[in-house]
Chains A and B, each alone.
Chain A
């Protein structure tokens, strides 16, 4: 499978995909910023941390070349999926596939509303830190899970997972990833919101439950609400989000969740698509979620203070 892959969005996840895949496919990274595209065209993307190489994708801000692509990986923030999907419309050929890899819920539906392409749902557990437009640090080498969306064939997920694995990243194809997606959603809604409000990286504080005022109590309370919402939605969770939390803090990486980085940089966060998605689901299902509602409102208000 030697195909033309377009990666849309050059954040941490987009950069990691573009750099790795450029070693096994003809890859173009599409960024919104000309200086970003110029830096990648000139220097490639340096990957450090879990890997050490310079990937050489092409880079552009111009969607015209999308007509050539066989696979488009939409790796933008959740709030930018609509704009990315609009660029695919009328360019990406009908047989080409689209893979979405956003946090939260709903990216697939947004893409579907712009075209009939076969689609893949993906959830990625890998993480990293952007050290520059042309440099990404690969921090957690945990896998990306892929599943067919609606009536797309499982083979498409399997082929794409194989390509990703050949490129040096971890990936697995499965028939259905709702369980994994919900585990990650509950984990992210909790950890990212708490990090954004406390300015703490995801460190040992998140798992502490000794004193009544320890942060772990709030983290666990948020996760418990998330589990109730999942149960009401008929979802059987994959990994236990509390265990994911404890394990991640024990790894000692002190990861800075993107929502914290966004708040620190006074950017709009993904809170509507992560914590907000859970709160909306709770409302729809008639589940009481006072703690998730509270952190959601607080992060929204924090944004309002600088936007």
Chain B
């Protein structure tokens, strides 16, 4: 079985390196970072932290080099999904493509170029520390399922889940993968922009009663939009938010959007709060708070250009 990782940043590298350890899986990685790709081809892809792995796989910046693959795993930042899948689609004419990205809207973008799409949500996380080397910060589960409008077959979904699980990334194949995706979406949308706008860590956001109420308002809107689509969340985002605020969990964690803002990188706001607002408009569910934080973050991004 051949798997091509599209976007070999931190999360993409976790999938690439672990899958390459499995005997019957051949892994290719597509990424635009020349140094990272060269380092992977020369020295292998190294993971350290939650797991120690040195994997040998083929990496390229040239999508034309990619061989036909059984599976694609898209792990780019959301705003690069459309361009990445457009570049690589010809490798997946006979394959199925799975998103393991943040937010909502990625599967829709993939389905514009690929016939069989898999909806995915993943919790393992890390960061690229140098070309060819990724720090694996947290282990976690992945849930995948057919993307309803352009579904991959359930047998295919199970085959990918089984390979990932054997690779050391516990993955569950389910018929409806929207619950975990919206649970993670609502969690991220309720916490990320607040951290980004205030500069506060997750724990400090949660211990300010006014901000915590704002977090709940964002959660409630997300839940209403999920419910209008018939999505059943697999866990209550409120509990996850409070759990993460504990000192031994993620009190001091700076949301990835705050890290983006501090580095003046484009954020994933359009696929988080902007995604909730977009689906809300489709469903006729008002999302004033998600609209408000979306416009504020987009204003902040605009300030870097002025």
Are A197 and B292 closer than 8 Å at their CB atoms?
no
Q: Among A61-69, A144-152, A170-178, A214-222, which stretch is in contact with chain B? A: A214-222
Asked if A194 lies at the interface with its beta carbon under 8 angstroms from chain B, I say yes
B269 CB to nearest chain A CB (Å):
8
Binding site for B on A (CB under 8 A): 194, 197-201, 203, 205, 212-215, 217-218, 221, 254, 290-291, 293-295, 297-298, 300-302, 304-306
A304 partner residues in chain B, CB cutoff 8 A: 198, 200, 204, 208
CA distance A254 to B302 in the complex (A): 14
Contacts of A295 in B (CB 8 A): 292, 296
B296 contacts A306, C-beta separation under 8 Å: no
A200 CA / B299 CA spacing, docked (Å): 7
Do B306 and A218 touch across chains, with their CB atoms under 8 A apart?
A: no
- A46–chain B nearest beta-carbon distance, Å: 28
Given known A-B contacts A199-B303, A294-B214, A294-B289, A218 and B198 have beta carbons under 8 A apart: no
Residue of A nearest to B294 (CB): A213
Per-residue A-contact encoding for B289-302, CB less than 8 Å = 1, 0 else? 10110111011101
Query: Would you give 15 A-B contacts (Cβ < 8 Å), ordered by A?
Result: A197-B197, A198-B300, A198-B303, A200-B300, A200-B302, A212-B291, A213-B298, A214-B295, A215-B296, A215-B299, A221-B292, A300-B210, A301-B197, A301-B205, A305-B199
Residues from chain A with a CB closer than 8 A to the CB of B291 are 212-213, 217-218
Asked whether B197 lies within 8 Å of A212 as measured between CB atoms, the reply is no
Q: A69 to B93, alpha carbons, bound, how many Å?
A: 86
Q: How far is the CB of B264 from chain A (nearest CB, A)?
A: 10
Q: Could you say which residues of chain B place their CB within 8 Å of the CB of A205?
A: 299, 302
Bound form: Cα–Cα A218–B297 in Å? 12
User: Is B145 located at the chain interface by the 8 A CB criterion?
Assistant: no
Interface residues of B (CB under 8 A from A): 194, 197-200, 204-205, 208, 210-211, 213-214, 217, 270, 274, 277-278, 281, 288-289, 291-292, 294-296, 298-300, 302-303, 306
Determine how close the nearest CB of chain A comes to the CB of B141; give it in whole angstroms: 32
Residues of chain A within 8 A (CB-CB) of B288 are 221, 290-291
Residue of B200, B204, B295 with highest tally of chain A CB at under 10 A:
B295
List B contacts of A298 (CB < 8 A). 194, 197-198, 211, 214, 296
A302 touches B197 (CB 8 A): yes
Nearest A residue to B278 via CB reads: A212
What residues of A have a CB within 8 angstroms of the CB of B208 in the complex?
297, 301, 304
The 8 A-B pairs of least Cβ separation, nearest first, read A198-B299, A305-B199, A301-B198, A297-B210, A199-B303, A218-B295, A200-B303, A215-B299
Using known A-B contacts A213-B298, A297-B214, determine if residue A306 contacts B199 with beta carbons closer than 8 Å. yes
A293 to B211: give the CA distance in the assembly, Å.
Answer: 10
B244 → chain A, closest Cβ, in Å?
A: 18
Q: Give, as a whole number of angstroms, the nearest-CB distance from B213 to chain A.
A: 8
The CB with the most chain B CB atoms within 10 A, among A199, A213, A214, is that of: A213
In the bound complex, CA of A218 to CA of B287 (Å): 12
- Given known contacts A199-B303, A301-B200, is B296 in contact with A194 (CB within 8 Å)? yes
Q: Which residues of A contact B210 (CB under 8 A)?
A: 293, 297, 300-301
- In angstroms, Cα B240 to Cα A127, docked, is 47
Complex CA distance for A198 and B303, rounded to whole angstroms: 7
Residues of B within 8 A of A215 (CB): 295-296, 298-299, 302
Q: Tell me, rounded to whole Å, the shortest Cβ–Cβ distance linking A15 to chain B.
A: 26
Given A197-B296, A297-B214, list of 4 further CB < 8 A pairs?
A: A205-B299, A213-B295, A217-B295, A293-B210
Of the candidates B204, B292, B306, the one having the most CB atoms from chain A within 10 angstroms of its own CB is B292
Contacts of B289 in A (CB 8 A): 290, 294
Closest partner residue, chain A, to B277 (CB atom): A212
Closest residue to B299 on the A side, CB-wise?
A198
